Structures are given as structure tokens and as C-alpha cells.
Structure 1
């Protein structure tokens, strides 16, 4: 009886504990399965949040959700103020939070950088797709423009090719001085003349449709209002025509014998011709632009045309001042006895020495450059045929621009 009294109270306990453990394990397993199912669905969102918040130490880790129940319980205990251990039925203090893992933080930073690079690549691909989408449309417009204006494009190609070829030939023959080829220069001069005649007569209708733009005088008559296309055509063709005239004049100068124009003094003549050409080409665009601006509006809107014309002349003033400065400088150099620099005084020659640094001989027509170095005129002009710097200090000689070699500017005067 005493044995039964001692053992009877244990029967409910022994049968209840396994049942309680089974229910607890089944509930925990079911809860874990449901929780894992939910976590798998929101895993992409959580991973994105981890990437954006890579620097935050309390970032959510997906491994903690997918670990065993015991590991999940430990991860949950880290966030509670206290936990209850069912085995020992007593409260325990939560464990200390571990120090942030530097390797994990570095991995998160790398993931963030990878995401940024991936986004950049995606944006670049989208931009390229947009560009490629409009490529056929741009090609169609380009093909239409080429077909509609093929005569004008052909004229521009002829004029540009002629100018580039003859300009290069003049530069080459100028550097040869007394060894220049008169035959080559004559051929280039005939080439310019033939090109002008070909363009003027073969494309006579095209040229005359745009108000006879080969009339190179500054004052022209426009019977109809100008459109943007006609305006640009006039200024471009006029500019190329004036370039060819400039090259032709330089060819004639190069063909002259040395007795008429010495080779040492031809550099400043080339400079003066180029200065006149640039000034004339800059002035030649004023009348077409003013006519276009003033005749674009009628009636009360005429005040808009006046203001636009005034703004054009103000902006044009800067260009005209630079051309005028070059023309003034080249004119004064043309009046000087020396080709480059200025004539030095006796004291300056004594200070520099009695011998030219280039030929190591006594000075023959000494010239003083802006850098205060003295050379023979013939020596330094020969040097300037290849260089634009002082032979001693390599300083840029700004008063000896490249136009002294017979070249002509490629700049197209559009305004």
C-alpha cells in the first residue's frame, strides 16, 4: 500500500510529460514549417533590405530563420529581456550580444557595391535600347536630307577638297623658298580657277536659287526673305569662295621672284593677306544675317527683329575686334624693316654678344624678339619656318603666328 501510494502520483506525471513534449514538438514543427514557408516568400525582400542596410549591425540574417529550433530559440532569447528554460524552470539572463562580424560587414558592403554596379549596367542597357530605338528614324531623316540636298552637299565637298589641297600645296612650296616649283604652283592656281568655273556653271541653277552667292561684294540685294537653310548656304559658300581667293593670291605671291619680294620678308606679307581675308570674311556675313533677322517679323513684331539685330551686332563686336587687332598688328609689321621682332639698340647687341646663337657668326640684320633674345634675321626667319618658339628659351613668339608660312585658316565664318 505504501508502495502504491508512493508510485500512484507519478503515473499522471509520467504520462503527461511525453504527451506534452509531443504536442510541443508537433506545434513547434508545424510553426517552424509555416514560418519557413513565409520566410521563403519574403526572402528576396529581406535580402534587399540587408543589402541596403549593410552598415547596420542589427541587420536581419536569413540563416537565423532557417536554423534548427534550438538555434531559433537562442536567436529569440537575444532579443528578450529574460527567458524561461523549461528543463530547469528558472529565469536566466540573456547572453551578451556578440561583436559585429567584420567579415560579414565586408560581404554586405561588397553586395551593396555589386547591386549598384548591376543597377548602373541596367540603366546603361535601357539607355542604349532607347538610342537604338530612334536610330532608324534618324537614318531616315539623314537619307532624306542627303537626297533633297545632294547638289549642295556635292558643291561643299568640291570646295572643301579644293581648298584643303591648294592650302597644303602653298605651305609646302613656301617653305622651299628658292627651290619652290613654279609648275606646281601654276597647276594649283588652275585647279582653283577650274573648280570655281565648274561649280558656277554646272550647278548654275542651284547657285542662282540662293541669290547668286558667288557675288562676293559686301552689299547684295535679296528679293525674298531668307530661311535658315538659305542663310547658312549663303554664308558657307561665300566663306569658301573667299578662302579660295585668298589661297590664289598667296600662290601668286609665292610665284614672284626674290628680287621683287625677298623671301625673308614674305612671311609678314602672308600674314597681312591672311589678316585682310579674315577681316573681310567676318564682315561679309553681317548683311545676310541682318536681312534675315529684320525681315523675319512684320508689323508690331518688328520690334523683336530690332532687338535681335542689336544683340547680333553686340555679339559680332567681339569677333570684329579680334580681326581688327590682327589686321593692325600685321600692318605695322609690314611697315617695319625687319621681318620678325624689332630692331635692337647698340647697347642691347653689346649685352647679348657679337655673335648670333644660331650661326655663331657676327650679326647680319639683327632682330630682337619679345623674349629679349637677338638673332640674325635670316637665321631666325628660317627657324620660324619650322617652329614658333625662341631657339634659346623656347618661349612662344606670339607676334609670329602660323599664318606667316602661307597657310589659310580652316575656320568657317558662320555668323
Structure 2
């Protein structure tokens, strides 16, 4: 065995940077101090999109993201000399030395094992260098973007703080009424799911709380033109942008709160409803919800009408913008009108659109046992797929599904969405 001097291809330089060519080498712990100094860059580095920097040169601007490792390997001067890093020496035997000598130092060709094509190593290195340069350029651009975001982030936070301070009461009221509405929706769904176990005193108590909440909010803002849009009347004065948003959000939330009170009254009426009454309860709740969606579609229109019709921008410009807004609004309302008509038509239809009442002979042949509740059938319903279930069970099933519980055959037509569970749409109608 003899020790052979390493060639340029056998020399590997380990520079001072850690090996971060893959996201797996990124430290598993999250640098809190770096995050406070440069949050965006730290997140990119921790996720592996950017190459992490050492703590000594973290605040220094790097000229390139390409490590000196690749530069030293590609631009070797032929002597294999390098002043930095560690040099690894490979121990080769006599056979390996002879094979290397027979090659006459020609390292430019790689022969395929099956006598195949001959590929020039310089072309392979060139493609590899181009891919590496492109990847490094993308990382450099991403790093520049993250630094730009970090520069404007403190000023943006200051602007947000000032904006919140200017509209402090509006922010707190918006958050409060939204949280109250979300909780009310959850309560309403739970009371609807209780069916015959609902307590009348609980329903009355919740309905009074909901209504007092609505009356209290409008009494507090009785001098702020908050109630005018409820009657499709524009505000008296042109509202600023943020005040217009506040009026629309509060009105939209309070209208849904009032509709929840009406739904609680329906639950009182259908407290002990079974069979036909239970199905009618779901249809009534769906009709109330679609009527609410139609009304909420018109609710922002008076506010934006007053906001856009501002003569300070010129009569022609303000009239054009107002006309375009009203056109877009009428176009979006068409779908809401169709849904409301479909819900009203379903309520007025007496027969069931997914089956009919089964006869005693049909129930006897089916075994007089409901496959959903596993009890004796009450008001059995024969579906179009010839399966029989209790009317309560199958009505509740079709509030969420469209297929038979057993054979999965399509039974209920693809009509409007049902809100028979008492839920309310939680999305705001701002425009």
C-alpha cells in the first residue's frame, strides 16, 4: 500500500459554513432571538427555504449565497492548493494506482457500463453548475424579499396600532358582537338537536337574551345612523371608509342575531314535533335562513350608495361608480332570490320529494325495524329505492345527506342547501 497525493477531484474543502444544502440539516430548535430581530428571514431559514447564517455574521450582508466550497472545486488552479479548510488524503493500493496511471490523467470521459454512450464530464458539470446557480439565485431573491418585508414590518405595525387606537371602541364592539353571534349560533344548533327534549323555559330565556342584546346595541348607537340601513335608507352624511365598514358589520351581525331569536320561537312551536311536524320545522328554519340571506344581500347597499355618491370626486365619476355598484349588487341578488323561492316552494309542497308513507304490508315485509334507530318504525317512509325508515330518522338524515342510508342510492334531489339544523351562515356580507 502507498500513499498517493490527492488530485483536484480527491480534494474536499470544508469551509467555515455548516452544511445546509438540504432542509434536514437545519437546526430543530427555533431561534427565538433571531426571530425577534428578523422574523421573516428566520422563518424561511428554519423551514429550509434559505441557508441559515452563523451567529457571527448574521447581520452582515452576503455577496452571494453560493458557498466557497463549490467555487473552490470548480475553479481549481490545477495544483490542488487551498489555504482554507481541511484536506482529505485517500489511501490507494497498487491496482488502483496502475489504473489511474493507465488513464493518463484523463478525467474528461465517463464510459457506460454496458458499452453505452460516452458523456463529457465538463457538460455534466456545466448543467450541474447552471442548476446550482439558478437555485442560488432564487434563494437570494427570496432572502432579499424577506429583508424588505422586515424593513417595512415595524412601521406597518405602528400604523396598525394607531388605526386601532383611533377606532378603539369600534374594534372592541365588532369583536364582542361577532363572538356573541358565534356563541348564539352554537346554542341554537344544540337546542335544535335536542328535539323533543328541549325545555320551554330554556328557549324563552335564550330568546329574551338575544333580543335584549340586539336592542342594547342599537340603543347605544342611536345617534350614529346605525339603524337607517335596516330600512334601506342611506345614512344622512357620507361615512368615512372605516365607519362604513363598521356600520355594515354591526348591522349584518345584529340581523342574524334577531333571526336566531325567530328560530328559537319556531323551536318553541315545534317543541314536541315528530314525523310531519319535524320535517316542517326543518323547512321553516331553512326558509327563515334564505329570507335572511336575501335581506342581508341588500343591507350594505344604502351605506355604499351614500359612500360612492360623493360629489367631491365629480358628478360624472361618482354617478358612474354608484351605477356600477348597484348593477353588480342586483346581479348578485338574483341567485339569492332563486334560493328563497326554492325554499318557499319546498315549504308549500305537502308531499315528500324523497318518498311516501309505507303501507302495513310493506312494513311487515321489511321487518318493522328501522335500520337507523334500531327500534320499531314510527310513521314509516318508503324511499324510491324500496327501503323503509322512520320519518323522524330519515328526515334528519336527509338534512345532511342525499343518498339512502343503506344502499347509497341517490334519493334526495340536488336542490338548495338545508338549514334544518338551526345553523346560520357565519360569513359577513360587507359588499
Q: Which TM bucket (shorter chain)? A: 0.5 to 0.7
Pair 1:279 & 2:297 matched: no
- Rounded to whole Å, the distance in 1 between the matches of 2:125 and 2:317 is 64
Residue of structure 1 equivalent to 2:316 = 303
Pair 1:315 & 2:295 matched: no
The alpha-carbon deviation at position 182 of structure 1 amounts to 3.4
The alpha-carbon deviation at position 216 of structure 1 amounts to 6.0
Answer whether contact 2:234 2:306 (CA < 8 A) is retained. no
Query: Which residues of structure 1 form unaligned runs of 5+?
Result: 1-46, 52-60, 68-97
The alpha-carbon deviation at position 386 of structure 1 amounts to 5.3
- Rounded to whole Å, the distance in 1 between the matches of 2:317 and 2:367 is 63
Whichever structure has more helix as a proportion of its residues is: 1
Pair 1:380 & 2:394 matched: yes
Answer whether contact 2:342 2:416 (CA < 8 A) is retained. no
Q: Which moved more, 1:274-283 or 1:188-197?
A: 188-197
Q: Which of residues 233, 236, 240 is equivalent to 1:220? A: 233
The alpha-carbon deviation at position 132 of structure 1 amounts to 0.3
- Rounded to whole Å, the distance in 2 between the matches of 1:124 and 1:113 is 17
Q: How does 1:328-347 map to 2 (within 5 A)?
A: 328-338=341-351, 341=353
Answer whether contact 1:356 1:374 (CA < 8 A) is retained. no
Answer whether contact 1:214 1:241 (CA < 8 A) is retained. no
- Rounded to whole Å, the distance in 1 between the matches of 2:159 and 2:223 is 23
* Per-residue Cα deviation, 1:156-181 (whole angstroms, up to 9, x for no partner): 11111111111111111112210124
The alpha-carbon deviation at position 218 of structure 1 amounts to 2.2
The alpha-carbon deviation at position 65 of structure 1 amounts to 7.4
Answer whether contact 2:235 2:302 (CA < 8 A) is retained. no
Max Rg structure: 1
Partner-residue secondary structure (3-state), 1:136: helix
Residue of structure 2 equivalent to 1:88 = none
Partner-residue secondary structure (3-state), 2:318: helix
Residue of structure 1 equivalent to 2:145 = 127
- Rounded to whole Å, the distance in 1 between the matches of 2:234 and 2:187 is 36
Residue of structure 1 equivalent to 2:126 = 108
Answer whether contact 1:167 1:408 (CA < 8 A) is retained. yes
Q: Which of residues 229, 236, 243 is equivalent to 1:230? A: 243
Q: Which of residues 305, 323, 348 is equivalent to 1:290? A: 305
Aligned length: 321
The alpha-carbon deviation at position 104 of structure 1 amounts to 3.9
The alpha-carbon deviation at position 400 of structure 1 amounts to 5.8
Change (3 A) 1:214 1:354: farther
The alpha-carbon deviation at position 253 of structure 1 amounts to 1.0
Residue of structure 2 equivalent to 1:243 = 256
The alpha-carbon deviation at position 217 of structure 1 amounts to 3.5
Residue of structure 2 equivalent to 1:265 = 280
Answer whether contact 2:366 2:388 (CA < 8 A) is retained. no
The alpha-carbon deviation at position 155 of structure 1 amounts to 0.9
The alpha-carbon deviation at position 196 of structure 1 amounts to 2.9
Q: How does 1:136-285 map to 2 (within 5 A)?
A: 136-201=154-219, 204=220, 207-208=221-222, 210-211=224-225, 213-215=226-228, 217-220=230-233, 222-256=235-269, 257-258=271-272, 262-285=277-300
The alpha-carbon deviation at position 223 of structure 1 amounts to 2.4
- Rounded to whole Å, the distance in 1 between the matches of 2:140 and 2:215 is 57
* Per-residue Cα deviation, 1:337-375 (whole angstroms, up to 9, x for no partner): 24x5256599xxx99x97599827889464767x99886
The alpha-carbon deviation at position 198 of structure 1 amounts to 4.3
Residue of structure 2 equivalent to 1:403 = 419
Query: Which residues of structure 2 form unaligned runs of 5+?
Result: 1-65, 81-107, 110-117
The alpha-carbon deviation at position 144 of structure 1 amounts to 0.6
The alpha-carbon deviation at position 309 of structure 1 amounts to 2.4
The alpha-carbon deviation at position 272 of structure 1 amounts to 0.7
* Per-residue Cα deviation, 1:213-236 (whole angstroms, up to 9, x for no partner): 135642325322233223222221
Pair 1:359 & 2:370 matched: yes
Change (3 A) 1:230 1:156: same
- Rounded to whole Å, the distance in 2 between the matches of 1:287 and 1:407 is 27
- Rounded to whole Å, the distance in 1 between the matches of 2:416 and 2:389 is 15
- Rounded to whole Å, the distance in 2 between the matches of 1:367 and 1:333 is 19
The alpha-carbon deviation at position 335 of structure 1 amounts to 1.0
Residue of structure 2 equivalent to 1:4 = none
- Rounded to whole Å, the distance in 1 between the matches of 2:357 and 2:209 is 48
Answer whether contact 2:278 2:392 (CA < 8 A) is retained. no
Q: TM-score when scaled to structure 2?
A: 0.63
